[in-house]
Homo-oligomer: A and B are copies of this chain.
Amino acid sequence: MADMTGTPPRGRRGTRPSGEERESAILATAERLLEEDRAIQDISVDDLARGAGISRPSFYFYFASKDAVFLALVDRLVAQADAGRGDLLDRLSEDPAARWREGLHVFFETFGAHRAVARAGAQARLTNPEARELWAGVMENWVHDATLAIDSERARGAAPPGQPARDLAIALVSMNERVLYATFAQDPPAVDEAHVVDVLLSIWLGAIYGAPSGP
């Protein structure tokens, strides 16, 4: 869903680096600067341009704005997250706890692998409408899958009735996002990276299979 610039691959050696190389250089620079723990607002267009070896006006040939660069990075991460999610739902009757753990682990791995980008995304979500929509879409996918899984477990009698499955799913997925953010950014109070999946799992299991307290 990210880039639609078709720029074909005609690359000669020795000439000035062109097209996609420059675009990639900008993206790589952006991710590198984020990994130095700098916030989006502390990175200027000039930083990105210089990092990619071009002038500031040239930057605008490739991206419409600074935000567009970070949005492209988040876009990439989001694609990975969606790909990794796979079919969490399909085989949950085998071994529910192990299945759920697997799902949480995908979450953990996806955001952990590019934590700097994840951090930037969580930040951009609060200031950029496009980023908010992008992020909302990902969350919605996770919530949707989790809702189906909870309803399915209830239908087969493995989980008791309780609060609406979708509401539980929203709260649990939101928890994952916030807790993993704190863990990866080491933003206290945070759970240790080694335990975080187990802690989240125990809450998911308690919420889904534990004592009902619904209306």
Classify the interface of chain A: helix, strand, loop or mixed: helix
Is A113 positioned at the interface, with any CB of B under 8 Å from its CB? no
Report if A122 contacts B (CB, 8 A).
Answer: yes
The 16 sampled A-B contact pairs (Cβ below 8 Å) are: A136-B188, A143-B189, A163-B195, A163-B199, A170-B190, A170-B199, A171-B191, A171-B200, A174-B175, A174-B189, A175-B175, A175-B203, A203-B206, A206-B206, A206-B207, A207-B207
Contacts of A214 in B (CB 8 A): 198, 202
Give bound CA distance, A78 to B127, whole Å.
23
C-alpha gap A136/B188 in the complex (Å): 6
A205 within 8 A of B: yes
Task: Tell me the smallest distance from the CB of A162 to a CB of chain B, in Å.
Answer: 6
Interface string of A137-152 (1 = CB under 8 A from B): 0011001000000000
**How far is it, in angstroms, between the C-alpha of A211 and the C-alpha of B100 when the chains are bound?**
15
User: Could you tell me the distance in whole angstroms from the C-beta of A4 to the nearest C-beta in chain B?
Assistant: 26
Q: Is the CB of A171 within 8 A of B187?
A: no
- Give the contacts of A172-215 with B (CB-CB under 8 A): 172-175, 177-179, 182, 187-192, 195, 198-203, 205-215
Categorize the interface residue count of chain A.
Answer: 35 or more
A168 at the interface (CB under 8 A from B): yes
A132 adjacent to chain B (CB < 8 Å): yes
Q: CB < 8 Å: which of B143, B164, B202 contacts A207?
A: B202
